């Protein structure tokens, strides 16, 4: 039986980011204004927190057939921003807040204001790792699709008809995920979620 402390369903969007932000800025009052801090690291984590909370609110709009986890931590201390499990499959969602910037996604890379990033490669690697862990613990193959949820960008351009990573504005997440063709049965969704919500799954992975 899973202990209450091991149940990741209790996590809130951005919990892992908030933990790091508290370490960087212990002062509660100053943390309220962290997005305007003189410390670049504090600003970056504060912006990330806004993005993950925004994405989490959008994912909460998925129907009852969907199960969503947030801030799923690996033994290394890194975390999966959001993990959505539903009829359309399993999605590893990485929230990226690029306020006021233009995002362009070609075949293999994302640029932010024309500056290349490693968002695609990182998301693909994370999804593959999650798939291995879930498949091992579930006892059947669990494909995982990587998703990048773009938050507060001025413009998002996707130049790929069938991208390996789904790059979508966070506001559109519920519609995009719910609109996909079903690939999992209700029993499979329940089993995957049961495994995924147990923190011990990830510390052993």
- Nearest-angstrom CA–CA distance, 140 and 143: 10
Angle (CA) 167 169 172, round 5°: 110
pLDDT, mean over the chain: 94
CA neighbours within 13 Å on the CB side: how many for 180? Answer: 19
Q: What are phi and psi of 101, to 5 degrees?
A: -115, 160
- Nearest-angstrom CA–CA distance, 45 and 130: 24
Q: What pTM was estimated for this model as a whole? A: 0.94
Calculate mean pLDDT across residues 38-53: 94
pLDDT tens, 68-88? 999 999 999 899 999 999 999
pLDDT tens, 102-120? 999 987 899 999 999 999 9
Which ranges constitute the DSSP H helices of the chain? 15-24, 28-32, 40-59, 119-138, 173-178, 186-196, 199-203
Q: Which of 53, 83, 81 is nearest to 66 (CA)?
A: 83
């Amino acid at each position: 039986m899973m202990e209450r402390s091991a149940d990741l369903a209790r996590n809130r969007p951005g919990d892992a980011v908030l933990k790091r932000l508290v370490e960087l800025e212990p002062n509660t009052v100053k943390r309220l204004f962290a997005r305007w801090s003189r410390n670049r690291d504090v600003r970056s984590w504060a912006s990330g927190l806004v993005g993950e909370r925004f994405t989490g609110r959008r994912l909460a709009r998925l129907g009852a057939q969907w199960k969503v986890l947030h801030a799923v931590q690996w033994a290394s201390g890194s975390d999966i921003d959001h993990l959505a499990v539903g009829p359309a499959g399993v999605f590893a969602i990485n929230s990226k807040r690029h306020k006021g910037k233009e995002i362009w996604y070609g075949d293999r890379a994302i640029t932010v204001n024309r500056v290349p990033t490693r968002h695609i490669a990182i998301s693909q690697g994370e999804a593959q790792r999650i798939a291995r862990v879930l498949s091992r613990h579930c006892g059947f193959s669990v494909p995982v699709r990587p998703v990048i949820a773009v938050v507060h960008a001025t413009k998002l351009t996707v130049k790929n008809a069938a991208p390996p990573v789904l790059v979508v504005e966070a506001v559109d997440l519920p519609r995009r995920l719910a609109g996909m063709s079903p690939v999992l049965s209700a029993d499979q969704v329940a089993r995957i979620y049961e495994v995924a919500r147990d923190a011990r799954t990830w510390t052993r992975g």
